Amino acid sequence: MKYVFSPPKQTTIPVRGSDEVFPVHRIYCVGRNYAAHAIEMGHDPDREPPFFFQKNPGNILLEGEDFPYPGKTSDVHHEIELAVALKSGGSDIPVEAALDCVFGYGVSLDMTRRDLQGQMKKLGRPWEIGKAFENSAPCSALIPAGDTGHPDHGAVWLKINDEVRQEGDLNQMIWKIPEMISYLSELFTLQAGDIILTGTPAGVGPVQRGDRLHGHVEGVGDLKITVV
Ligand code: MN
């Protein structure tokens, strides 16, 4: 088989303590998964079914790279999130079997053009222009579950220029990691290489050029990037 042009480069994420890399297939993001964040966005925190949107594998920004302030916006928000990286998948995965699909975890940011997302919400249109833009998914190196276990509690925070802006605990997730994997697998065929961003705690807000972002998930690690 001969390609009409060279196929795009496979996006990969480093694995901590290894020279192997994780090849990214799809990126699923869950919305409003912490009650306090649902409230700050003007929604009811009751346990409604989870909802999802996607980013593109090429939207990943690796640690050590700068986050370029994107165009067509004046309100880019940070959302600190635990990333779950899958080593296997399938359809209709039972909750009890879901964690068997997990390769490991990372610290990620769901960077959001909030002004564009807000306009799309109001018009009932898709969120891509607010969510799935270049470099919108900064992610740390992954830590294998064999090293860290499967975190279900622990601090999650984001500092900007050493000041705490977001703070929460993984135990505040409305939909837990196995439930999210199981639910997603009823809608999509999950695969090795899929990444799930698990939602953000309260305190989202705008970033400016020059800001130093430092995200942390207890037991998983840190992510540091600078907005340029
Ligand atoms: Mn998010």
Q: Where does the pLDDT of residue 46 fall: very low under 50, low under 70, confident under 90, or very high at 90 and above?
A: confident
Q: What pLDDT shows up at residue 36?
A: 85
Task: Establish if 6 belongs to a structural domain.
Answer: no
- Based on the structure, what is the number of domains in the chain? 1
Dist. CA 98 → ligand 1 center (Å): 21
CA 51 to ligand 1 centroid distance, Å = 11
- Give the domain range for residue 84: 12-226
Q: Looking at residue 42, what is its pLDDT? A: 85
* pLDDT tens digit sequence for 26-40: 999 999 999 888 888
Residue 130 within a domain? yes
DSSP 11: P
Q: How far is the CA of 32 from the centre of ligand 1 (A)?
A: 7
CA 10 to ligand 1 centroid distance, Å:
24
Determine the distance separating the centroid of ligand 1 and the alpha carbon of 29, expressed in angstroms: 6
How much is the pLDDT for 7?
Answer: 95
CA of 4 to the centre of ligand 1 (A): 37
Question: How does pLDDT run across 50-103, given as a tens digit for each residue?
Answer: 999 999 999 999 998 999 999 999 999 999 999 999 999 999 999 999 999 999
Q: 115 is written with which tokens?
A: 């002004």
Separation in Å, CA 77 to CA 67, 70, 160, 205: 12, 11, 12, 5
Residue found by looking up tokens 């064999």 in the block: 146
* Domain membership flag for residue 166: yes
Looking at per-residue confidence, does 98 or 46 come out higher?
98
The pLDDT tens digits for 191-211 are 999 999 999 999 999 999 999
pLDDT at 47 over 80: no
Do the beta carbons of residue 133 and residue 59 sit within 8 Å? Answer: yes
pTM of the model: 0.97
The answer to the question of residue 209 being in a domain is: yes
CATH number reported for the structural domain that contains residue 149 in this entry:
3.90.850.10
11 Cβ contact partners less than 8 Å away, ≥ 6 residues apart: 23, 24, 57, 58, 60
Number of other residues whose CB lies within 10 A of the CB of residue 171: 11
Ligand 1 center to residue 110 CA distance, Å?
5
Residue 71 lies in a domain: yes
CA of 135 to the centre of ligand 1 (A): 14
CA angle 121, 124, 129 (to 5 degrees): 55
pLDDT of residue 48: 83
